[in-house]
Amino acid sequence: MSTVFIALQANEDTRPIIDAIALDNPAAVINRQPAMVKIDAPDHLVIRRETIEDQLGRAYDLQELQINLITLSGNVDEDDDTLTLTWNS
C-alpha cells in the first residue's frame, strides 16, 4: 500500500470540494494544516464532478480544480467526470 494525496488551498472555493472528496472516499484522511488541506488515501483517490456539483449547487468543470490545487501524488487520470489518483494499479 502507498499513500496518494491531493492538497488544496483552504478557502471558500474548496470547502465543498473537500466535502465531496470525503463523501466519495471513505478511506481518505483529511489533514487540516495552516492555509491548506491535505487529503491522504491508500493507493486510490477519486474526485467526481457530480458529487462536487451536489455540494456546490451549480455546474462545475473539474479543471477548475487547477486554481486551488497545491500538490498531489500518484498517477493522474482526468476526464469530464472524474479525476483519479492511483499508485500500484
Partner 1 sequence: MDMKATKKKLGMKERYRALTRDLGWEPSYQDKDAIFPYASYEGIKVHDWDKWEDPFRLTMDAYWKYQAEKERKFYAIIDAHAQNNGHLNITDARYLSALKIFLQAISPGEYAAHKGFARAGREFPGVGTQVACQMQAIDELRHAQTQIHAMSNYNRYYDGFHAFADARDRIWYTSVARSFFDDAMSAGPFEFMIAIGFSFEYVLTNLLFVPFMSGAAYNGDMATVTFGFSAQSDEARHMTLGLECIKFMLEQDPDNLPIVQAWIDKWFWRGFRVLGLVSTMMDYMLPKRVMSWREAWDIYGVENGGALFKDLARYGIRPPKGWDDAEKAIDHMSHQFMLGLYQWSFGTSFHSWIPSDEDMDWLSAKYPDTFDKYYRPRWAHIRKLKAAGTPFKNYGLARLCQCCQLPSVFTEPDDPTLTCHRETVYKGEKYQFCSDGCMDIFNNEPEKYIQSWLPMPALFSELGGDVGAWMNWVSLRDGVDNGDYDGSTDQQHFNEWRGLATSNL
Q: How far is the CB of 23 from partner 1 (least distance, A)?
A: 20
Q: Residue 67, interface with partner 1 (CB under 8 A)?
A: yes
Grid-cell match 491531493, residue found? 6
**24: amino acid identity, one letter:** D
Contact pick of 15, 36, 46, 54 for partner 1 (by CB under 8 A): 36
And the C-alpha cell for 61? Answer: 468543470
Query: E strands, the chain, where?
Result: 3-9, 29-33, 36-42, 44-48, 69-73, 75-78, 82-86
Q: Residue 26, interface with partner 1 (CB under 8 A)?
A: no
Q: Which residues bind partner 1 (CB under 8 A)?
A: 2-5, 7, 9, 13, 33-36, 58-61, 63-64, 66-80, 87-88
